[in-house]
Amino acid sequence: MDLSQQKRRLLGRLRTGKSRKKEGLVLVEGLRAVKEAIDAGAEVRFVVVSERIESTTAGLELMEHIRKENLDITSVSDKELAPLADTKHPQGILMVCKERQVELPDVLRIGGCYLGA
């Protein structure tokens, strides 16, 4: 499936903090970050993967996990993914999900840690 112009433009907008806040969405990149976000119950809009993702055992396992979650997945080439990513060396996966709003009492309840000045 090709990446639509609408999704491509959204990915471009999410590279700026102002747009992320306006859209209420965040861009998650990398194997570990994507897996942790899914496991934490992130409200995923869509996932973009390149052929690189299935070149490692960890990538294959993550793709199986994503497919089990029945998420919207779009495959692109490494060349197409590179300008969409915010990292210098993309790992072959990007995910757009709704920004999670966390209140202080919720963080304290789960054992959050704060530094004070």
Q: Where are the domains positioned within the chain?
A: 5-109
Residue whose C-alpha is closest to residue 26's, from 113, 86, 112, 92: 86
Measured CA to CA, the distance from residue 75 to residue 6 in angstroms comes to 15
**What's the average model confidence in pLDDT over 3-28?**
89
pLDDT digits (tens, 9 = 90+) for 36-80: 999 999 999 999 999 889 889 999 999 999 999 999 999 999 999
Longest dimension (CA), the chain: 50
Q: 5-109: what fold?
A: 60s Ribosomal Protein L30; Chain: A; (3.30.1330)
